[in-house]
Amino acid sequence: MNIENNLTKQSVLNYLNENKRMDNRKFLELRKIEIETGISKNAEGSARVKFGNTEVVAGVKMDVTTPYTDHEDEGTLITTLELLPIASEEFESGPPRIQAIELGRLVDRGVRESGFIDFEKLCIKKGEKVWGIFLDLYAINDDGNLLDTGVMAALAALLTSKIPKYDEKTEKVQFGEWTNKKLPLTKSIPITMTFYKIGDKMIIDPNKVEEISADGRLTLALSELDKRLVINSMQKGLEEAFTKQELSKIFAEAEKKHAEILKKLEKLE
């Protein structure tokens, strides 16, 4: 960490030690969340989501493709996330870098492992033709917590997606034309929450200054299964470890935040 970052971290710590954050939020308080859907006329589903000033756009496209050999009766999912240079001076044009690849994989894992998409209902002909889902995310502005913002954008786009028309005779998708069928989804909506440790303090939904000051990071993707919450995926980041007491606090808080965020997404169904 360079001198500038050290000074930034010390400033953040000074605020946290006074039990406050630089934007006057509580430690475990989310920024204002804004969700806008239907932003692309060409996508099967699309959304723009903002956590404070952090903004991510998501789009869903579908096409008929060949299934994977080990899942011959299931549709496919490919998730990509681009960190556009307009989002931050830290991002550069060109092939995806490690951070973009990691974020894309985390979004994909949460969606896939939760069972949110009913892939079997995307099968057209076993072993030959299935619907493939292409989920693309674009970071428009990075003011911290791109991952949770990106997941929310992905979920909003998927929840509002419709299956395009498919001509079985010509075996072609009628792009720009849609059926009345929504994407086959379950009630297991995988909401992602990332907790950050700065010194001995725990926060959620950091702005960029807080994020670069963090010592430890833990991401959870939670969804409901048989009226109980389950962890679909979990990812530890940065060097600092979490104690058992801190993990207990994280799991308890994640349950509360899941209910809070779920209400916002259920309005889109």
Identify the domain containing residue 104 by its residue range: 19-266
Looking at the domain assignment, is residue 3 inside a domain?
no
Closest C-alpha to 116, from 255, 226, 232, 38: 232
Is residue 9 included in any domain, yes or no? no
For residue 188, being part of any structural domain is answered with yes
Q: Looking at the domain assignment, is residue 10 inside a domain?
A: no
| Residue 6 included in any domain | no
The answer to whether residue 181 is domain-embedded is yes
Q: Is the pLDDT of residue 158 over 80?
A: yes
How many angstroms separate the Cα of 183 from the Cα of each of 38, 87, 131, 158, 176?
15, 30, 10, 7, 16
Q: Distance (Å, rounded) from C-alpha 83 to C-alpha 97?
A: 9
Read off the pLDDT of residues 20-38 as tens digits, 9 standing for 90 and up: 998 999 999 999 999 999 9
Q: What is the CATH number of the domain that holds 254?
A: 3.30.230.70
Q: How far is residue 231's CA from residue 31's CA, in Å, rounded to a whole number?
A: 23
Query: What's the predicted TM-score (pTM) here?
Result: 0.93
For the stretch 194-214, pLDDT in tens is 999 999 999 999 999 999 999
Mean pLDDT (the chain) is 93
Q: Distance between the two ends of the chain, CA-based, in angstroms?
A: 44
Confidence class for position 176, pLDDT limits 50, 70, 90: confident
Per-residue pLDDT reduced to its tens digit, 140-156: 999 999 999 999 999 99
Q: Indicate whether 211 belongs to any domain.
A: yes
- Count the residues in the chain: 269
Domain count, the chain: 1
pLDDT, one tens digit per residue, over 38-60 is 999 999 999 999 999 999 999 99
3-state secondary structure of 40: coil
- Cα 191 to Cα 97, 104, 210, 257: the distances in Å are 25, 15, 22, 9
Closest CA to 236 of 192, 189, 194, 191: 194
28, part of any domain: yes
Question: What SS3 class is residue 136?
Answer: strand
* Residues in Cβ contact with 170 at an 8 Å cutoff, skipping those fewer than 6 apart: none
Quick: pLDDT tens for 72-97.
Answer: 999 999 999 999 999 999 999 888 88
